[in-house]
Chains A and B, each alone.
Chain A
């Protein structure tokens, strides 16, 4: 079944709506279109966005 409903939540930094063109997964990274904050999906139901954590020492390629 496909859905045309907008999948969106609000930016925890500036409250602007952040929308997804398909259901996001936990841990998915998104950017707020208004304030450019880097966000992370921390829950799918209900869709919850939090500010993504700062880069940690052991992150990389």
Chain B
């Protein structure tokens, strides 16, 4: 079996993954995407790989490389469909809704005026998010019409064309935390609660993580959400609505897990490595 792991920066996660493959006796070639020249019509040396694990920090680099590699018929983890869906909050919403998975209500508009109407339809407070973005960047809670007008004007005037897509999400009155479920091979293998005094509960924004017991609801929703986006491996972010219970907020296709191994007691990278091996051996499909 020959495996490769593509990356743009080798963080702790990537190093842990490489070590995990080694510990289960599988060799994997780390490939820095920045040094690669692809031929979209000829796989060349890539044809020797049974699977490629994408760990690029850059979404653009992930999409570009995995599109080409899948075009060559190489199994990528995650598949490009998963990356595309998870990277775009609108596509995620559509996929979750299509699979009947509870998710916060959303409105989308393409112009400033209709954007404000979208916020009014959702009601205050509402959450404005860029459709493409991570780590909680540019996520804004708007408490009134004045704030909505200001933020939408800034987005449409100062942002890229993509920022002109106004994605408005219902604000969930969560209990000071959100939940992250780590899914490997369609099973929730670990979960953490991310708590913060700030309403944004990304650990990249300073939230603290603690291990969480996997309830039946969490197990079911996490697995269904991963299936809805066709993910081999992903982190499903969930919110707890006081009345409606668990709702899936977002899904991350290239999850970070360095701070979740000790807090959960689960060797997430080793489970990931084993799953990739199982995929290659045809023991599981996605």
Among listed B9-17, B166-174, B224-232, B274-282, interface-contacting one: B9-17
In angstroms, Cα B35 to Cα A26, docked, is: 10
Q: Mark B126-150, 1 if CB is under 8 A from A, else 0.
A: 0000001111010000000000000
CB distance from A56 to the nearest CB of B (A): 7
In the complex with contacts A40-B9, A61-B252, A26-B58 CB distance below 8 A: no
* A53, closest chain B residue (CB): B9
In angstroms, Cα B10 to Cα A21, docked, is: 16
A56 partner residues in chain B, CB cutoff 8 A? 58
Question: What are 30 A-to-B residue pairs whose CB atoms are below 8 Å?
Answer: A25-B10, A25-B30, A25-B32, A26-B10, A26-B35, A27-B8, A28-B9, A28-B15, A29-B9, A29-B10, A29-B11, A29-B12, A40-B9, A52-B9, A55-B135, A56-B58, A58-B59, A58-B60, A58-B132, A59-B58, A59-B59, A59-B134, A60-B59, A60-B133, A60-B134, A60-B137, A60-B252, A60-B254, A61-B253, A61-B256
Additional pairs, 4, CB under 8 Å, beyond known A60-B137, A61-B134 = A25-B10, A27-B7, A56-B58, A61-B254
In angstroms, Cα B60 to Cα A41, docked, is: 22
In angstroms, Cα B132 to Cα A28, docked, is: 26
* B30, closest chain A residue (CB): A25
CB distance from A5 to the nearest CB of B (A): 21
Residues of A within 8 A of B (CB): 24-29, 40-41, 52, 55-61
Main secondary structure of the interface of A (DSSP, over half): loop
In angstroms, Cα B94 to Cα A57, docked, is: 24
Query: Is B122 in contact with chain A by the CB < 8 A criterion?
Result: no
Count residues of chain B with CB under 8 A from any CB of chain A: 26
In angstroms, Cα B253 to Cα A58, docked, is: 13
B30 partner residues in chain A, CB cutoff 8 A? 25
In angstroms, Cα B256 to Cα A29, docked, is: 15
A55 partner residues in chain B, CB cutoff 8 A? 135
**How many pairs of A and B residues are in contact by the CB < 8 Å rule?**
51
In angstroms, Cα B254 to Cα A28, docked, is: 17
Are the CB atoms of B9 and A60 closer together than 8 Å? Answer: no
Are the CB atoms of A28 and B59 closer together than 8 Å? Answer: no
Query: Is B57 in contact with chain A by the CB < 8 A criterion?
Result: yes
Partner of A61 from B7, B8, B135 at Cβ < 8 Å: B135
In angstroms, Cα B59 to Cα A27, docked, is: 17
CB distance from B23 to the nearest CB of A (A): 14
CB distance from B105 to the nearest CB of A (A): 24
In angstroms, Cα B15 to Cα A27, docked, is: 11
Are the CB atoms of B9 and A61 closer together than 8 Å? Answer: no
In the complex with contacts A61-B134, A61-B135, A26-B11 CB distance below 8 A: no
B11 partner residues in chain A, CB cutoff 8 A? 29
